[in-house]
Chains A and B, each alone.
Chain A
Amino acid sequence: MSASPTLASPRVHAPFVGVLVFPGSLDDRDMERSLGLCGARAERIWHKDTRLPPDLDGIAVPGGFSYGDYLRCGAMARFSPVMRAVVDFAASRRPVLGVCNGFQILCEAGLLPGALVRNRQLKYVCQDVRVVVEDPGDLRAKLAPGRALVMPVKHGEGAYVPDPDHKPRVAFRYIGGSPNGSTDDIAGVANDRGNVVGLMPHPEHATDPLLGSTDGGELLQAFLATCLAVREAQR
């Protein structure tokens, strides 16, 4: 990605975020671009890499159809070489954000509870939705509960089904009903520790006024602020 105008902090102190790229990842460039717009130093990381850059502050798992979603969405990507390092990264309490297929991958990898299944109407859906922030884990310092955000969804398998033995922390909930039949209108969840967050709406497609809403930029900036805060705290 070439130099983009940044909306936030200068690059010297910019949080360093890795955007995972699996075969079939599709929104990886968009995520890299939007994180850049929000002030991050973002770099795509190939799924065959076994080691992450040592100074990485956060990981974003982007949308797409990794491995074509042929077995079950996200089911193959969890076996990619890079995922072992991602699991270790999450275990060190550093921030991980999964969007759409990235959310599905994090659920399959056991980093988030529950699963995502076929939309109730059995059709792919692309439209803007409104979600309300509830308990976004470590992002809550910068993303106030009660805030409503407009972002697009675009998925065929986005209906969240909680694990019956593991009540999720609901990070985001659809306002006015889900577009996909998600249980309790859940749009995104956080893990118990709060450092791993996944959601179906695409914040990276809502960061540029020319292209629609900019509410996704708020979410990404909260993620980046969390990356910086964790870096400072762990130093």
Chain B
Amino acid sequence: MSEPEVTDQLAREHGLSDHEIALIGEILGRRPTFSELGIFSVMWSEHCSYKSSKRYLRGLPTTGACVVQGPGENAGVVDVGDGRVAVFKIESHNHPSYVEPHGGAATGVGGILRDIFTMGARPLATLDSLRFGPLDDPHQRYLVRGVVAGIGDYGNAFGCATVGGEVTFHPRYRKNILVNAMNLGIARRDQIFLAKAAGPGNPVIYVGSKTGRDGIHGASLLASSEFDEDTDAKRPTVQLGDPFTEKLLLEACLEAMGTGAIVGIQDMGAAGLTCSSFEMASRSGTGIEMDLDAVPQRESGMSAYELLLSESQERMLLVAEKGREAEIFAVFEKWDLDAAIVGRVTGDGRMRVRWHGQTVVDIPVDPVAANAPVYERPTARPADFAERQQLDLAALPPERDPSGALLQLLGSPNLCSREWVYRQYDQLVGSATVLRPGGDAAVVRIPETERGLALTTDCNPRWCAQDPYLGAQHAVAEAARNVAVTGARPLAVTNCLNFGSPERPECMWEFAEATRGMGDACRAFGIPITGGNVSFYNETAGEGAIPPTPTIGVVGLLDDVTRAVPAAFRGAGDDVILLGETRNELGASEYLAVRHGLERGAPPALDLAAETRLQKLLVEAAMRRLLRSAHDCSDGGAAVALTECAIRSGVGVEAALPAEGLRPEVALFAESAARAIVSCAPTDGDAVLSLARSHSVPAQRIGRTGGARLVISPGVDVSLAEAHDVWARTLPEALG
């Protein structure tokens, strides 16, 4: 069997530019072989190389006292005390999930789980940030059902609790949904494993599932180009997932790590064997010699090209100490998994691959991996940027039915109950889930300790569409606030940056602005970014791009997990206190979108210092056990936040929101930042107010819990039962 001849035309079909084709010629001093072309194509793809985003990511804050491992490894690592570390990361699986929702979402979860356990951590909790087109579109409902079932089928059968996330509907995701999966695991600080191929002479061992023909060019063709009319034809590039094998792989890897014979390990995700071997060698300044005939294969007749580029799931590549191979093999045999020596580490910095006795790849590692081309793409602020910030509140008709407006918001797809989604997920396996899905952040106990971690993902894409700099700052602020309301101190950030094509200057501008906003907010809060993922090309020909969506995952630490504060009220007779200040702003709010069909105006102003003060206050109040509940005011404003506290607890509330100088709909539904609704025992009310004063956070008693109604001044009076019914039935009615 001979490989096709490599021509410039064939290279272009592999997604390489003429500049990149010329560069390959310079590096090799000859034309690449077909297998080498495949390697350059995936390694230099946007997905693997970050060639358009790298210069912006370099400016982000990545260091801090808690950081054990920053960006560049499979996941970030932070110290959480008691000799333990949290290993966490978020990643996208957007295009595969649009093409094949069940399989795409399932393997998205599988991929992020491997990123975590490849570092020696046992996965503890998953969160999923999902964005779809409008819920009234039947195809979107098919996608929602498929994605949720896929996440559940994989995570449930693997045995990692799904504890949170978000679901948003917006017309601009209609042809390009987003599926971002975050996972966090716990390891001992002195037992972290890195993706290294150190020690010339050490064996390179392949473990896990056999390699098949699935997912070839998933990274380069599916993830690194926009969708067009041939999208359905790309279905074969979506991988197949097997959570059962992944569970065995988890147990076998952790057991093998326990032998002490493993030097380095990396999962085979995007670009499979190619990416894992190149990255491991590149990080260690070594080379690898590989023989593809030794790779366990699911089907016969696979070419070198296919073996190198397959994205078959549930596979790992590891480097073991020479002479200790048998210890590794014994573990994988116990778990009935394949393990095979496929190569050796060399000292010469080259990748040499043999197949059927021929050398099919012989290229230097670094120019392909660490020194891949980097681009400075043109950026351009959209022409209508200033115009879209304009919103004349005075021209808006006054709200004549505040109760009706509240009910309409509660039943809207973006604010209604997410229970239909999360009841399909195992939220409990692992005996760690202290605060389950449905609140602001989930809280999990760190096993065998008194400590807990709060986890959340956030991003308001409507705000990012209006102003990506401010929108990204808000995403960080809201995520950090969601963690702080549980009583946890925000520790670190992971991000999943979902954008349109970097080749369009407006999208590149959005990316530049969003990363700048994210960096500024993280610096203000003192929380480093420890890793993440960039997903470009989220657009479809003729349909335009998605709104810029920098999904932010934040991890926070509770020194005493028994002090975690839930979002729902706890009983009748408690004081209700509003922390923070409601401003005269309604731009880009849920109220405008739901009640008036308007997406206009600037996002709320954001005072990062005020936000920091509020978060510190929330953490201290929780530590002093002053709070019975705490809930962040965000989408839908203070009225919706109060209602959520009530309907999740079955306890009503009577409260008067500050309305001086504000239109009623602003008092009720403004989405001003740096605010939270807390409740406390009446005997603690003064202590909370005085603590707020000492943190310079505006605070006022606005009412009391109790009863079976929601009486919220100005103008809202509805029964709790009706509010609950409207809120609870939207997703089940739409999705079955």
Residues of A within 8 A of B (CB): 2, 23-24, 26-27, 29-30, 33-34, 63-65, 67-70, 123-127, 152, 154, 156, 202, 204-205, 208, 210-211
Contact = CB atoms under 8 A, between A and B. Distances in A.
Sorting the interface of chain B by its residue count into under 10, 10 to 19, 20 to 34 or 35 or more gives 20 to 34
A154 B244 contact: no
A124 B152 contact: yes
A65 B243 contact: yes
B522 interface: no
Interface string B400-428: 00000000000000000000001111111
B253 to A, nearest CB: 14
B445 A210 contact: yes
B329 interface: no
A76 B448 CA distance: 33
A30 B430 CA distance: 6
25 contacts: A23-B247, A23-B335, A24-B247, A26-B159, A63-B429, A64-B159, A65-B156, A65-B157, A65-B243, A68-B157, A69-B157, A70-B244, A123-B424, A124-B156, A124-B424, A125-B423, A126-B422, A126-B427, A127-B423, A152-B428, A205-B428, A210-B434, A210-B561, A211-B428, A211-B432
Contacts of B433: 211
B426 to A, nearest CB: 5
Contacts of B448: 2
**Nearest 4 CB-CB pairings of A with B:** A68-B244, A26-B159, A65-B157, A30-B431
Interface in B555-609: 561-562
B247 A126 contact: no
Nearest to B245: A68
Nearest to A28: B159
B586 to A, nearest CB: 37
Contacts of A124: 152-153, 156, 424-426
A23 B248 contact: yes
B336 interface: yes
Summarize A's interface: helix, strand, loop or mixed.
mixed
A210 B449 CA distance: 13
B244 A23 contact: yes
Given A2-B448, A127-B423, 15 more contacts: A26-B159, A27-B159, A30-B431, A33-B431, A63-B429, A64-B159, A65-B159, A65-B247, A123-B149, A124-B152, A124-B425, A124-B426, A126-B422, A205-B431, A211-B428
A145 B335 CA distance: 42
Nearest to A121: B736
A67 B336 CA distance: 11
B562 A210 contact: yes
Contacts of A154: 156, 426-429
A156 to B, nearest CB: 7
B423 A67 contact: no
A29 B448 CA distance: 12
Contacts of A64: 159
Contacts of A67: 244
Interface of B: 149, 152-153, 156-159, 242-245, 247-248, 335-336, 422-434, 445, 448, 561-562
Contacts of A125: 423-424
Contacts of B434: 210-211
A197 to B, nearest CB: 21
Contacts of B243: 65, 68
A24 B157 contact: yes
Contacts of A2: 448
A125 B433 CA distance: 17
B431 to A, nearest CB: 5
Contacts of A205: 428, 431
Contacts of B426: 124, 126, 154
Contacts of A65: 156-157, 159, 243-244, 247
B336 A126 contact: no
Contacts of B335: 23
Nearest to A21: B251
A202 B426 CA distance: 12
Contacts of A26: 157-159, 247, 429
A152 B152 CA distance: 17
A27 B158 CA distance: 11
A18 to B, nearest CB: 18
A27 B429 contact: yes
Contact of A34 (B422, B431, B432): B431
Contacts of A30: 429-431
Nearest to B160: A26
A126 B428 CA distance: 8
Contacts of A208: 431
Contact of B242 (A29, A68, A126, A202): A68
Nearest to B434: A210
Contacts of A27: 159, 429
A101 B220 CA distance: 40
A126 B431 contact: no
Nearest to B156: A124
Nearest to A123: B424
A65 B153 CA distance: 10
Nearest to B429: A26
Nearest to A30: B431
Nearest to B419: A127
Residue among A68, A126, A204 facing the most chain B CB atoms (10 A cut-off): A126
A179 B470 CA distance: 44
Contacts of B242: 68
Contacts of A29: 430-431
A125 B432 CA distance: 19
A25 to B, nearest CB: 8
A69 B242 CA distance: 11
Contacts of B424: 123-126
A164 to B, nearest CB: 31
Nearest to A25: B159
B409 to A, nearest CB: 26
Contacts of B422: 126
A203 B430 CA distance: 14
A24 B244 contact: yes
Contacts of B244: 23-24, 65, 67-68, 70
A88 B311 CA distance: 45
Contacts of B153: 124
Nearest to B248: A23
A69 B423 CA distance: 20
Contacts of A210: 434, 445, 561-562
A211 B566 CA distance: 12
A166 to B, nearest CB: 30
B337 to A, nearest CB: 10
A208 B242 CA distance: 32
